[in-house]
């Protein structure tokens, strides 16, 4: 996964751009949306394709802090993120 600087997803202000996936002719931007207004905090992953197609998970990350959410997300390899994306098709 290519790392780029965080940027917001326009329609989800709590989502941050954490990297990109590319394979063959397919490219997806990966965003992590966090909800920190409750404890524990939670997050879900959004994938946005070059053609503006999008896929999103449910709230699959539940941790005590936002830093814990980011650490947990960063445990996913690019291969695991591709599998997660493909499971949303």
Is it true that the peptide bond before 40 is cis, omega within 30 degrees of 0? yes
Q: Strands 41-49 and 61-63, how do they pair?
A: antiparallel
Structure tokens at 74: 């960063």
Distance CA 42, CA 29 (A): 20
Per-residue pLDDT, 5: 41
Buried residues in 25-59 as b, exposed as e (16+ CB within 10 A): eeebbbbbbbbeeeeebbbbbbbbeeeeeebebee
| Positions in the chain whose pLDDT score sits under 70 | 1-10
Predicted TM-score (pTM) of the model is 0.85
Tokens of 75: 């445990």
- pLDDT on residue 65: 94
pLDDT of residue 38: 87
């Amino acid at each position: 996964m290519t790392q780029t600087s965080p940027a917001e997803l326009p329609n989800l202000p709590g989502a941050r751009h954490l990297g990109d996936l590319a394979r063959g002719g397919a490219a997806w931007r990966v965003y992590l949306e966090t909800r920190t207004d409750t404890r524990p905090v939670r997050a879900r992953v959004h994938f946005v394709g070059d053609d503006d197609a999008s896929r999103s998970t449910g709230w699959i990350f539940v941790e005590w802090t936002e830093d814990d959410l980011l650490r947990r997300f960063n445990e996913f390899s690019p291969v695991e993120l591709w599998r997660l994306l493909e499971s949303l098709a």
